[in-house]
């Protein structure tokens, strides 16, 4: 099962080696992270980043090994944005000359970069950004300026204290004309003493949700006061400004930017499966250890994991972790496919790829954030302790629902593409990729589910057809309602809540389909395929049960068939139960990476909880600070009362 989760024996071996390398190094300790001040936490992040780079260099790690080592350090910091956004931006939008100049500096950490797009007043609406980059032909320079308070760059990770450079997104103005948003490489700090350069005001935006968590990241604020940069620091792969100030497009198609977008969103979906699997691992292991009620005549209490209520809440989340993992693996293939087609100037699948990646980012991150909180509740009161690992995991993960595209905004983008695909069906244009099912519109609009017994839902054809019919009927219904509006845009606005649900239905179909395709492959290991099949059925039928109203309202299934699906779910939970712990052990997480006393591999939970409590700084003294000033006067009735 470890191989099925990781993807290959090589991936298991490399991941295990890097995880243990991090876990055995005292510099990467993180058990005190929620107890130290923000200043101490940030300094600790700098120390870990420097030490990680030192170890990567000393051991001459490969790019794959280095990436895994940084993952297992498990502390958000400037390095994430340097490698995850700054470098890809230059790769995707810079010319060959610009890449030759800037990438070697970034690869050797001679400069540290961030991605300065979001502003105080604009996030998702990129076209509304206010920062300006005005070309001055007299000096052959761009003048970067923040004309308003709301034009201040706000939120970029690594900007607050660490970054020396940024890819800054601003409105390009030349010859008096605004050409929209473009990227510029701007130096922010001195490479000698790290002080801000003239005309630049920057700092950290302040503490964020939770203890530890994302507070290790220096999310920043940045303002420009007519800062000048050379013309060649505009990222010019797609367009450029000549020495004379003429704006010209290059012969490189702008569609190439889609490749970077697919890559970033694929990474986010993969991260969703990692975060969800960590939470589920903690909850499953602790539910196997914890015993409550059920004792008769002095007999043993019942393992919490044996309660059907616990299983019905927890096992769908376990199945979701695997579902997100496999759809994330498929997205890696999609990235390669899109890249190859772009190089061949084939743009036929771009709209579908955009809808797919945007929707999967939205659905998986929202589901994961909700699932982590559910896992906390599944662990009872102890789940609320920082030492459980779940509060910090939740706090560090929830920003994923907003960064790289607000989830509601992304789903509405998906809905627009779905509306366009439906409108083209009558013209004979066949949908491609994950939208190909729409080509069966006549059949799916009138088909009836053939399920007669609970076990009929084990047939993947029945499951997939029900999900296809639900998605298509919801999309067509929205299109018909919008078509009745006097104005199409007004109709879209009025139907936006319905459009969100239709987009979610489409994305859930993709996840179910890719899970089904995965379990139909040859999977090595005794009993592995059978367990994955169980999880696939749990995921699909759980989604069906959760969104039963959609399936019934669109006439995809009958109430009786919905009841049969729920009946089968109970049987599937019973089949998952004996292997639940093994299924989370397959994630192969070290105790260090998991960061939870409740999810310890050895199950020695209660002694660990007791020991962990005494590490809190509040327990450094037996008598609390403030006793003599406040508690003793109160207890001795010696409080000095003011005369009114």
The binding site for FAD consists of 118, 157
**Phi and psi, residue 53, nearest 5°:** -65, -40
**CA 208 to the chain's CA centroid:** 18
- Residue 404 among the catalytic residues: yes
Catalytic residue among 130, 352, 404, 468: 404
Q: Each residue of 553-572: b (16+ CB within 10 Å) or e?
A: ebebbeeebbebbbebbeeb
Burial class of residue 546, CB neighbours in 10 A (0-12, 13-18, 19+): exposed
Spell out a b/e string for 405-424, using b for 16 or more CB atoms within 10 Å of the CB, else e: bebbebbbbbbebbbebbee
Range list of H helices, 76-213: 78-81, 87-93, 96-107
CB atoms within 10 A of CB 7: 14
Name the helix (H) or strand (E) containing 241: strand 239-241
User: Do the beta carbons of residue 498 and residue 481 sit within 8 Å?
Assistant: yes
3 state DSSP class of 462: helix
Residue 69 contacts residue 61 (beta carbons within 8 Å): yes
Say how far apart CA 323 and CA 331 lie, in whole Å.
12
The DSSP-derived string for 513-562 is: HHHHHHHTS---STTHHHHHHHHHHHHHHHHHHHTHHHHHHTTSS-HHHH
Residue 366 and residue 408 in contact, taking contact as beta carbons nearer than 8 Å: no
- If you ran DSSP here, which 8-state letter would residue 83 be given? I
CA distance 574 to 572: 5
Which residues participate in catalysis according to the annotation? Answer: 404
């Amino acid at each position: 099962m470890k191989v099925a989760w990781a993807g290959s024996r090589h991936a298991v071996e490399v991941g295990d080696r890097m995880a243990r390398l991090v876990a055995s190094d005292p510099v990467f300790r993180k058990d005190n992270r929620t107890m130290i001040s923000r200043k101490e936490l940030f300094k600790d992040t700098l120390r870990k980043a420097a030490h990680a780079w030192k170890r990567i260099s000393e051991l001459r790690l490969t790019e794959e090994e280095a990436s895994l080592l940084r993952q297992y350090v498990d502390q958000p910091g400037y390095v994430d944005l340097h490698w995850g956004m700054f470098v890809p931006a230059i790769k995707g939008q810079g010319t060959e000359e610009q890449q030759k100049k800037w990438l070697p500096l970034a690869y050797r950490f001679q400069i540290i970069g961030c991605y300065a797009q979001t502003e105080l007043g604009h996030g998702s609406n990129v076209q509304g950004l206010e920062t300006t980059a005005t070309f001055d032909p007299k000096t052959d320079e761009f003048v970067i300026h923040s004309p308003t308070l709301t034009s201040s760059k706000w939120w970029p990770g690594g900007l607050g204290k660490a970054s020396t450079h940024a890819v800054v997104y601003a409105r390009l103005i030349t010859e008096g004309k605004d050409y929209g948003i473009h990227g510029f490489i701007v130096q922010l700090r001195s490479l000698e003493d790290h002080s801000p350069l003239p005309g630049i005001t920057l700092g950290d935006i302040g503490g964020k949700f939770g203890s530890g968590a994302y507070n290790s990241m220096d999310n920043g604020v940045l303002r420009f006061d007519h800062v000048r940069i050379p013309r060649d620091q505009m990222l010019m792969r797609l367009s450029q400004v000549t020495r004379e100030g003429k704006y010209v497009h290059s012969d490189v198609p702008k569609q190439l930017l889609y490749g970077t977008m697919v890559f970033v969103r694929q990474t986010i979906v993969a991260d969703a499966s990692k975060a969800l699997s960590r939470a589920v691992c903690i909850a499953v292991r602790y539910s196997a250890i914890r015993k409550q009620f059920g004792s008769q005549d002095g007999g043993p209490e019942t393992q919490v994991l044996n309660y059907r209520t616990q299983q019905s809440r927890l096992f769908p989340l376990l199945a979701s972790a695997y579902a997100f993992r496999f759809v994330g693996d498929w997205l890696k293939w999609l990235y390669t496919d899109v890249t190859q087609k772009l190089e061949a100037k084939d743009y036929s699948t771009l709209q579908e790829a955009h809808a797919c990646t945007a929707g999967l980012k939205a659905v998986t991150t929202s589901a994961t954030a909700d699932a982590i909180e559910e896992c906390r509740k599944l662990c009872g009161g102890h789940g609320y302790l920082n030492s459980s690992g779940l509060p910090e995991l939740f706090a560090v993960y929830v920003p994923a629902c907003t960064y790289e595209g607000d989830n509601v905004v992304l789903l509405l983008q998906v809905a627009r593409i779905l509306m366009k695909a439906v409108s083209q069906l009558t013209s004979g244009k066949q949908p491609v990729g994950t939208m190909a099912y729409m080509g069966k519109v006549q059949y799916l609009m009138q088909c009836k589910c053939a399920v007669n017994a609970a076990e009929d839902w084990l047939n993947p054809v029945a499951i997939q057809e029900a999900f296809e019919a639900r998605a298509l009927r919801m999309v067509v219904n929205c299109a018909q309602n919008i078509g009745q509006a006097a104005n199409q845009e007004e109709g879209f606005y009025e139907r936006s809540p319905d459009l969100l649900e239709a987009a979610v239905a489409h994305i859930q179909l993709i996840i179910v389909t890719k899970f089904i395709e995965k379990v139909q492959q040859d999977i090595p290991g005794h009993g592995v395929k059978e367990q994955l099949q169980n999880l696939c059925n749990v995921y699909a039928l759980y989604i069906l049960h959760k969104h039963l109203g959609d399936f019934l309202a669109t006439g995809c299934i009958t109430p009786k068939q919905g009841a049969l699906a729920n009946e089968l779910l109970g049987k599937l939970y019973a089949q998952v139960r004996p292997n639940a712990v093994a299924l989370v052990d397959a994630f192969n997480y070290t105790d260090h990476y998991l960061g939870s006393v409740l999810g310890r591999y050895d199950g020695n939970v209660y002694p660990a909880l007791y020991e962990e409590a005494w590490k809190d700084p509040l327990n450094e003294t037996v008598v609390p600070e403030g006793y003599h000033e406040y508690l003793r006067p109160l207890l001795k009735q010696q409080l000095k009362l003011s005369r009114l």
